[in-house]
Amino acid sequence: MKRFWVGLLVHGLLLSACSAGPAGDKSPSNGARPTRTPVPTATVASSTAVPSASLARTDAQGAVEFVIEPLNLNDDGGTIDFAVTMNTHAVDLGWDLAALSTLESDVGRRVAAIGWPIGSGHHYGGTLSFPRAATDGEDILAGAGVLRLTIRDTDVPQRVFTWDVAP
């Protein structure tokens, strides 16, 4: 518990030391147009935007810390959504995570992401969305015990987040 509070304090100090740029500017820094239509869930990350610890997964490889939490695993909607928070002081976070991410179950169903609000800065977050139905039309969670989200080619070759989803 003490480690959690120390980490939270450090994140708060780091956030106050950085400037994320103009709040309304969510376009890539190279001037290119986003490859996906931004979803209105983008946020500049803050210490209050860290997902709850119950389902949140953290990967601190390389220069960027990712915190990811599923938002609707138990819903029957058309998508499976994840809250993603990224924090760094070394690189720009203008990646198109939808193009870099896949979601796979342990029974072999796999889908590519369909939505991510492309933005930039050193502290950035948003909702990463995947279709609930795999290419065979089945729910990606049908019969699954484990769900694995993989993000490739950020500042490290691969980040993998897993959740037990067995009933």
Nearby residues of 96 by Cβ (< 8 Å), 6 or more positions away: 34, 35, 36, 116, 118
Domains and CATH numbers, the chain: 43-164 (2.60.40)
CA 16 from chain centre, in angstroms, equals 22
pTM value is 0.69
**Signed CA dihedral, 58, 87, 6, 81: sign only:** negative
Mean pLDDT of the chain: 77
- In this prediction, residue 105 has a pLDDT band, given cuts at 50, 70 and 90, of very high
Q: What is the pLDDT of residue 122?
A: 86
Over residues 47-93, the pLDDT tens digits come to: 334 444 489 999 999 999 999 999 999 888 899 999 999 999 888 89
**Reported confidence tier of residue 167, pLDDT bands at 50, 70, 90:** confident
Looking at residue 16, its pLDDT comes to 45
pLDDT digits (tens, 9 = 90+) for 106-161: 999 999 999 999 888 889 999 999 999 998 899 999 999 999 999 999 999 999 99
Question: Is residue 161 within a helix (H) or strand (E), and if so which, with residue range?
Answer: strand 158-164
Q: Which residue has the tokens 């939808």?
A: 98
Give me the pLDDT at residue 119, please: 86
**6-33 pLDDT, tens digit each:** 444 444 444 444 444 433 344 444 444 4
| Residue 17: predicted pLDDT | 46
